[in-house]
A = this chain, B = another copy of it.
Amino acid sequence: MSQSTKPKLGRPRSEVARIAILDAAYRLLIDRGLGRLTIEAVAAEAGVGKPTIYRYWANAQELAMAALIARTDFRKSGTKIVPLVDALQAHMADVVKVFSTNRGRQIITTMASADAESELAKAFRGQIIEGSRKIGREILTSLLAQKTVKQDINLEHYLDMLYGPLFYRLLTNKMTDKDYSERAVTLLVRLIKADK
């Protein structure tokens, strides 16, 4: 009822155009970086008029976020692996791999550049950050459930300690490889065990 404000008047928006824009934007973002992601270039690449882009997104940052969101696909694999620590290792290796690509760097740049309060920025964080975090949370929840006491108090903190250092290293241009990933998980598991 609240969404009934659109009586479906006028020519409907072209889904084809919208997708072409997102595709072109994604390509430019990955290939050339956020600084080179100009609306003009996207319009030319997508074979679309500039106003069509502005009808959906207010500026290049928003478009970049939308393009990244549209390509979110996180491997859901994880929870099934039996030794839960191994599951965590596999997941972390996956996350490290994903964020060590060009795409990963652009995600960070885009996130840092975006207006933090905008709706799209929230959606972006929800999709990209929470997307990875969710899997880790599932595994950690199972891991913690094996303990007698309920440990939910520190759950989110553990997640911060798992993913935080990765982003920190990416941001500060430090190496992030398999060894790094393994030790990060090992230390975290050790901490959790210490917490009984």
Contact with B along A164-179 (1 / 0, CB 8 A): 1111110111000000
> A125 and B160 in contact (CB under 8 A), knowing A191-B191, A191-B194, A194-B194?
no
A187 interface neighbour in B121, B161, B163, B173, Cβ under 8 Å: B161
B154 touches A163 (CB 8 A): no
List chain B residues, Cβ under 8 A from A169: 160, 164
B112 touches A171 (CB 8 A): yes
> A172 and B125 in contact (CB under 8 A), knowing A161-B187, A165-B165?
yes
Q: Residue among A116, A129, A164, A183 with the most chain B CB within 10 A?
A: A164
Q: Would you call A111 an interface residue if the criterion is a C-beta within 8 Å of the partner chain's C-beta atoms?
A: yes
Q: Count A-side interface residues using an 8 Å CB cutoff.
A: 35
A35 to B166 Cα, complex, angstroms: 26
A residues at B contact (CB < 8 Å): 34-35, 105, 108-109, 111-113, 116-117, 121, 125, 129, 154, 157, 160-161, 163-169, 171-173, 183-184, 187, 190-191, 193-195
B157 touches A111 (CB 8 A): no
A187 to B153 Cα, complex, angstroms: 12
A161 interface neighbour in B111, B116, B161, Cβ under 8 Å: B161
A171 interface neighbour in B111, B194, B195, Cβ under 8 Å: B111
A116 to B104 Cα, complex, angstroms: 14
